[in-house]
Chains A and B, each alone.
Chain A
Amino acid sequence: MNKILLIARNAIARSKIFVLLSVLAGVMVCLAYLGGWHSAIDFSGNGTIDIGVVDMDDSFLSQHFRTYLTENLGMNILDETDYDELTKVLIDMDLSVIIEVPEGFEASALAGEFQKLTLTTTNDYENTAFIQAYIDTYMQGVSAASKTANGDAELFERILDSASADSEPLAMESAVVTSRDAEVSASAFRVATGFYLMLVMAVAICVNFLVVTDKKQNTLNRMRISAVGSLEYVLGTVLSCVLICAPTAVIPLVFIRISGDSIGISFPLAIVYFILFLLFAVGFGLVTSLLFNSMETIVPVMVGFASIGCILGGAWFPIDNTIGALHLVSYLMPQYWIMNYIDSVQDNTLVSLTADSSALTCVGILVLFVVLMYLTAAVCYGKKRIK
């Protein structure tokens, strides 16, 4: 036991930078949790949609129309006025629609003959009919003003100005009295868990660093002829890495506990999931450092697994059955079982193809993943000894 602790202490002393990284990672998970709170949808309805307007008329009416869009309808008109640049923004899905005001828009409106506004949307934009309805309602008013003015431009402008001056904002009240905090905090916990699953794999690279350094410096061979056994070395290294990676899990869990928020699943279960995945990450790092000899090879493997595992596991965004056969590969990722359980509880739906994902099933599967990793590490280490 003393030798294990000695090895662990020595390993931690050599990995101070990883301890710092682990603390930073823990803080990042906390920030992700807070970010999840803030990014919860503001359901007040006062949000804006971004639109682009290409004004080829530059008249009183086109300016009035723009003011109507922004002040009455609460839309946000981008500063850009060039159609090609707006098209780029539209393709990026950062814009809902581009509205083109044709030249002669006001003159034709005054004459009672209306030129049509052109709305450009992306190919599958579903809200086009609504935007057309908003514009048509405004133009009904313009049509009324035009008929009343009967060609008198000054009267036409006075009518439109008067309508704008007299308009009062719609009274709005929220009918939601039931607190949604539990839903929001559960959603924030999901975001934080996704970050944790990725960051703890990054911090677990410390395992690779320790073992690869020991291999290069021949420490492993020296240990074999010393009083330190292989098991003691492995346990010492694993213990040190678990302690190094622990802040990544402990800091956010303590933070969430102190905040007292409901996270959708039971808090002890969250602790179990975090610890099991931490053990898996350390085990995975151990396996890769025993299989490969250089950090240049190991780091892409770790980064690759962390990225692909998180994507397929639904850590970054929910995945469902619509992705086809790829969903079957998700089952091979431990991240999937954690996120699947969290999603099932929070959405109150079954998102898995398998039977009901009970907590015990998910914990059992995670334990099997952890055992698999350490058994594989033991086999790899044994083969290296024989060589």
Chain B
Amino acid sequence: MFSIILNEMRSLLRDKVSMFFLLLFPLLMIYMLGTFLQNIDIADYEIGEIRLGAVLDAEDPAFTGFLSELEDSNDVVLTDSSDLSALLADVDGGTLHAAVHLDENGDITLHTGTDATKNRALRIMLESFLYLNDTYTACVTETGDFTVLSQLQPTEESFSEAKELGMERTMIDYYAVAMVVMIMFMASTVSGASSFQNEDSQRTAARLVLTGTSRVKIFLGKVIGTLPVIFMQIGVVMVVSVLFFDAHYAANLPDNLLLFAMLFIGTLPLTALGMLVGIVSKIPPAAIFQPTSWALLFFSGSFSKEIYVEGFSDICPPYLIQQAAFDLTLFSRPDGALTVIAVSLVCFVIFSALGILAFSRKELSK
């Protein structure tokens, strides 16, 4: 069995082009996606400076004061005018982002431009102002006492305090995990299936059986033979991405070892599944596993973090592994990783048993 293991390792390592792409491709994807998408990975578009036109056809000290406060905040550049149509033309042309009109009846209308983020910010600011006015009015109407208004002066007090999260996950950190999961699903299944199909087509499997080697040993030897290569792939990607791309995995060594163990053990059932399919199917393994893996990885957000389909993505194995990895790396919570390890081992035993059964019954090419 040891010679089978050694042979399997050598044949995998011999294919230098595949090794080159299985190692280099994920590293390139980590670097490029992590670098290129960093500026796009945002929670909200920056509002920035707003150029606002204002036409006031009525006297409203409160609204005038509100506009002055906006201007003083340095976030809004105000342009006063008496010509609404000229301002609207400026908004349409892009010179102004929006215009606000206070008509003779005291009603406020916001004329929006093409920048949705600024439109939304202005809408919220004006809604807040109107609500504040309504609250002052309610104070008067509920008490029937107009004099309360004189006691209600706006304060400079801030009612909220901002704090930063204190932890972050850059896009390189995200893809450092996602691309390792991609190796797991795309490489392990195909190499597992190919190894059996190649052995069968080259009649090597039949010759091995003729020498008296049991089929169980042959199957297990081939599975174990892939382990050092998987170990190397995952290890190289993790180490290189940390050393050269400044990726961050877990914060401490035990968590990193657990992460590595999860990713490594997670590959075992995939390899066994690949071998099982390679035994029972004559279809090229790439034709089966690559589209399937690509689709699973796509909907798991491995290529784009924004892809998430509720009810489907959260049952995809790549998604579950990624979430377990992020729980471990960001929050040092090992539960997900331990669950993945346990499920992987169970699946590995099942697929291996099925694979051995299928191989035992298979008519080998002679």
Question: Chain A: residues with CB nearer than 8 A to chain B?
Answer: 41-47, 49, 68, 72-74, 84, 87-88, 90-96, 99, 114, 116-123, 125-130, 132-145, 147-148, 155, 158-160, 162-164, 166-178, 180, 292, 295-297, 299-301, 303-304, 307-308, 311-312, 317, 319, 322-323, 326
Q: Output the least CB separation between B183 and chain A (Å).
A: 11
Given A45-B123, A147-B151, A301 contacting B21 (CB threshold 8 A): yes
Q: Is B83 an interface residue (CB 8 A)?
A: no
Stretch of B113-121, B209-217, B231-239 on the interface side = B113-121
Which residue on chain A has the smallest CB distance to residue B161? A116
Q: Is B126 an interface residue (CB 8 A)?
A: yes
Q: Is B315 an interface residue (CB 8 A)?
A: no
Within 202-231 of B, Cβ neighbours of A (below 8 Å) are at: none
Question: Chain B: residues with CB nearer than 8 A to chain A?
Answer: 15, 17-18, 21-22, 25, 28-29, 32-33, 35-37, 39-44, 46-48, 73, 75, 88, 91-93, 98-99, 107-116, 118-132, 134-139, 141-143, 148, 151-152, 154-155, 157-169, 190-191, 194, 284-286, 290, 305, 326, 330-331
Q: Output the least CB separation between A246 and chain B (Å).
A: 22
Whether B43 pairs with A122 at a CB distance below 8 angstroms is yes
**Which of A68, A91, A116 is packed against the most chain B CB atoms within 10 Å?**
A91
A43–B120 alpha-carbon span in the complex (Å): 9
Whether A91 pairs with B169 at a CB distance below 8 angstroms is yes
Whether A300 pairs with B160 at a CB distance below 8 angstroms is no
Whether B135 pairs with A144 at a CB distance below 8 angstroms is yes
Whether A177 pairs with B92 at a CB distance below 8 angstroms is yes
Whether A72 pairs with B113 at a CB distance below 8 angstroms is no
A140–B143 alpha-carbon span in the complex (Å): 18
Whether A148 pairs with B148 at a CB distance below 8 angstroms is yes
Q: Output the least CB separation between B266 and chain A (Å).
A: 21
Whether A300 pairs with B132 at a CB distance below 8 angstroms is no
Give every chain A residue within 8 A of B190 (Cβ-Cβ).
296
A87–B165 alpha-carbon span in the complex (Å): 8
Whether A178 pairs with B92 at a CB distance below 8 angstroms is yes
A74–B93 alpha-carbon span in the complex (Å): 27
Give every chain B residue within 8 A of A307 (Cβ-Cβ).
25, 29
Give every chain A residue within 8 A of B91 (Cβ-Cβ).
175-176
Whether A170 pairs with B110 at a CB distance below 8 angstroms is yes
Give every chain A residue within 8 A of B42 (Cβ-Cβ).
93
Give every chain B residue within 8 A of A91 (Cβ-Cβ).
165, 167-169, 330
Q: Output the least CB separation between A189 and chain B (Å).
A: 19
Contacts across chains A and B counted by CB atoms under 8 Å: 272
Whether B17 pairs with A73 at a CB distance below 8 angstroms is no
A122 CB contact (under 8 Å) in B22, B109, B114, B165: B165
Whether A122 pairs with B168 at a CB distance below 8 angstroms is yes
- Interface of chain B, helix or strand or loop or mixed? helix
Whether B159 pairs with A135 at a CB distance below 8 angstroms is yes
Whether B165 pairs with A317 at a CB distance below 8 angstroms is no
15 contacts between A and B (CB under 8 A): A43-B112, A45-B116, A122-B165, A127-B44, A136-B160, A138-B128, A143-B157, A144-B135, A166-B138, A173-B110, A175-B91, A175-B98, A296-B194, A300-B18, A322-B39
B152 CB contact (under 8 Å) in A148, A166, A300, A317: A148
A87–B356 alpha-carbon span in the complex (Å): 45
**Which of B126, B131, B155, B326 is packed against the most chain A CB atoms within 10 Å?**
B131
A132–B121 alpha-carbon span in the complex (Å): 12
A177–B113 alpha-carbon span in the complex (Å): 10
Q: Output the least CB separation between B23 and chain A (Å).
A: 11
Which residue on chain A has the smallest CB distance to residue B152? A144
**Which of B115, B126, B162, B286 is packed against the most chain A CB atoms within 10 Å?**
B162
Give every chain A residue within 8 A of B290 (Cβ-Cβ).
299, 303
B121 CB contact (under 8 Å) in A130, A155, A297: A130
Q: Output the least CB separation between A272 and chain B (Å).
A: 28
A133–B123 alpha-carbon span in the complex (Å): 13
Whether B43 pairs with A93 at a CB distance below 8 angstroms is yes
Return the 8 tightest CB-CB contacts between A and B, nearest first.
A45-B119, A141-B135, A139-B159, A137-B128, A175-B91, A162-B138, A175-B111, A163-B138
Whether A130 pairs with B47 at a CB distance below 8 angstroms is yes
Q: Output the least CB separation between B244 and chain A (Å).
A: 13
Give every chain B residue within 8 A of A144 (Cβ-Cβ).
132, 135-136, 139, 152
Known: A119-B160, A122-B168, A136-B159. 18 other contacts (CB 8 A): A72-B128, A93-B42, A95-B43, A99-B160, A119-B161, A122-B164, A122-B165, A127-B121, A136-B160, A137-B128, A143-B155, A147-B148, A148-B148, A171-B109, A176-B113, A295-B286, A311-B32, A312-B32
Q: Output the least CB separation between B172 and chain A (Å).
A: 13
A123–B162 alpha-carbon span in the complex (Å): 11
Q: Output the least CB separation between B170 and chain A (Å).
A: 10
B124 CB contact (under 8 Å) in A42, A134, A176: A134
A177–B130 alpha-carbon span in the complex (Å): 27
Whether B111 pairs with A173 at a CB distance below 8 angstroms is yes
Which residue on chain B has the smallest CB distance to residue A75? B124
Whether B152 pairs with A147 at a CB distance below 8 angstroms is yes
Give every chain A residue within 8 A of B92 (Cβ-Cβ).
175-178
Give every chain A residue within 8 A of B36 (Cβ-Cβ).
311, 317, 319, 323
A312–B36 alpha-carbon span in the complex (Å): 9
B120 CB contact (under 8 Å) in A45, A95, A121, A126: A45
Give every chain A residue within 8 A of B93 (Cβ-Cβ).
178
Which residue on chain A has the smallest CB distance to residue B46? A126
Whether A176 pairs with B120 at a CB distance below 8 angstroms is no
Given A43-B116, A166-B138, A133 contacting B125 (CB threshold 8 A): yes
Whether A128 pairs with B162 at a CB distance below 8 angstroms is yes
Given A135-B159, A300-B21, A49 contacting B120 (CB threshold 8 A): yes
Whether B43 pairs with A132 at a CB distance below 8 angstroms is no
B131 CB contact (under 8 Å) in A99, A138, A159, A303: A138
Whether B139 pairs with A148 at a CB distance below 8 angstroms is yes
Whether A136 pairs with B158 at a CB distance below 8 angstroms is yes
A43–B48 alpha-carbon span in the complex (Å): 16
B142 CB contact (under 8 Å) in A84, A130, A155: A155
B137 CB contact (under 8 Å) in A42, A163, A304: A163
